[in-house]
Amino acid sequence: MAEGAIIDPEHVVITEPVEGSDIPVQLSYVETVDGLYTAVGLRRPPGPGPFPIALLASGNGGGGMRWVRDAVRDRGLIMDRLLDAGYACAWLRYRTEVELGYHEGGRLVRDVRQGQELFNRGPLEYEDEIAVIEYVKTLPYVDPSRVALIGMSHGGEMVLKITSEYHGAAVAVASEPAAHEFLALAPDDTATVNPDTRLRNIEEMQMVEVEKVRRRIDTAVAAERIASIRTPLLVMGRETDHLQGIFRTTYELLHEAGKDVEWVSYDHPLHGYIYPVRGADGAYAVDDVQDKAIAGIIDYLDRQLGP
């Protein structure tokens, strides 16, 4: 940035080059529901638009702008593919996941006290993503009717939380959705509790079989949450994942509820295979399965969003 350049403190946008590309990234801070800010790194194709936009989420939050910059640098291949297909796209960040904050806290209720807002609970990570959706819709080069969400792992569960309560996204992809909280799943003894924090450790929870998952979810709660979803969804599984039963059950419950949903599953060793990682040599480690999966995502978005 040139010496003496002025930045609007209420609309911070900093442009950085992206290695190996002529399309830079615009780093922004987006105001969330409680007035705090979350980090976004946005890229768009050449031209005035308006473009459809895909918002990328991965994992369970935290890290801020440094995380976004690292993702643009090291997990930017999917951005390049989306840009080539005519999509604007953004890596986004959000606040850290709260253990059972969604399940136990209920929906956010907003009131007024002394002329300012009052909430029934603290905002959660998926509400930060909703704020980003609303933000990108105001950008002159974005088509506000064609906002797509792509979430992986906890980001995939966030897709379900968002679309259950909010209907402003046109289409969404939930890849390897760790939807145990959304489905109100009771862990078995493959999950443990950290004796120091009393928080659950579910990293190695074994939920491979659909039958096992169905026995352990609160079907009534899951059905109520699914009932309000209107957004078309693609659910993506991973054949060797220890949570594949959760991924497949998520799809089956959506399908049984009559939702507009599709399923695909790939056999790949990497959790998060839709987001190939740049290696130490500067090249992306990407194989035929990942190529096919990313092409499938873009085809799905194209079919749902149209020209």
The string of pLDDT tens digits covering residues 71-97 is 999 999 999 999 999 999 999 999 999
Hey, what are 7's tokens? Answer: 């930045």
Instruction: Count the neighbouring beta carbons within 10 Å of the beta carbon of residue 270.
Output: 15
Q: Residue 96 domain-assigned? A: yes
Q: Residue 117 domain-assigned? A: yes
Determine the residue type at 173. Answer: V
The residue among 158, 150, 170 whose CA lies nearest residue 275 is: 150
* pLDDT of 2 strictly over 60: no
Q: Are 136 and 55 in contact (CB under 8 A)?
A: yes
How much is the pLDDT for 201? 82
DSSP 271: T
Q: Residue 6 domain-assigned? A: no
Q: Residue 110 domain-assigned? A: yes
Q: Average pLDDT of 286-290?
A: 97
Residues 6+ apart with CB under 8 A from 152: 57, 58, 59, 175, 176, 272, 274, 275
- 124-138, 152-166, 197-211: least confident range: 197-211
Compute the distance between CA of residue 18 and CA of residue 114 in angstroms, rounded to an integer.
46
The H or E element that residue 132 is part of is: helix 125-136
Strand 88-92, strand 171-175: pairing: unpaired
* pLDDT of 1 strictly over 90: no
First CA to last CA distance, the chain: 36
Determine the residue type at 182. Answer: F
Q: Residue 83 domain-assigned? A: yes
Domain boundaries, position 134:
44-305
Name the band, by pLDDT with cuts 50, 70 and 90, for residue 4.
low
The residue among 38, 173, 42 whose CA lies nearest residue 96 is: 38
* pLDDT of 245 strictly over 70: yes
Name the CA dihedral angle for 278, 285, 75, 168, rounded to a multiple of 10 degrees: 170
Compute the distance between CA of residue 118 and CA of residue 111 in angstroms, rounded to an integer.
5
pTM for this prediction: 0.95
Higher pLDDT, 151 or 6: 151
Number of domains in the chain: 1
Determine the residue type at 212. Answer: K
How much is the pLDDT for 292? 98
Q: Residue 38 domain-assigned? A: no
Q: Residue 31 domain-assigned? A: no
How much is the pLDDT for 203? 82
Q: Average pLDDT of 209-227?
A: 97
162: domain CATH number? 3.40.50.1820
How much is the pLDDT for 190? 87
Q: Residue 258 domain-assigned? A: yes
What does pLDDT average to over the chain?
Answer: 95
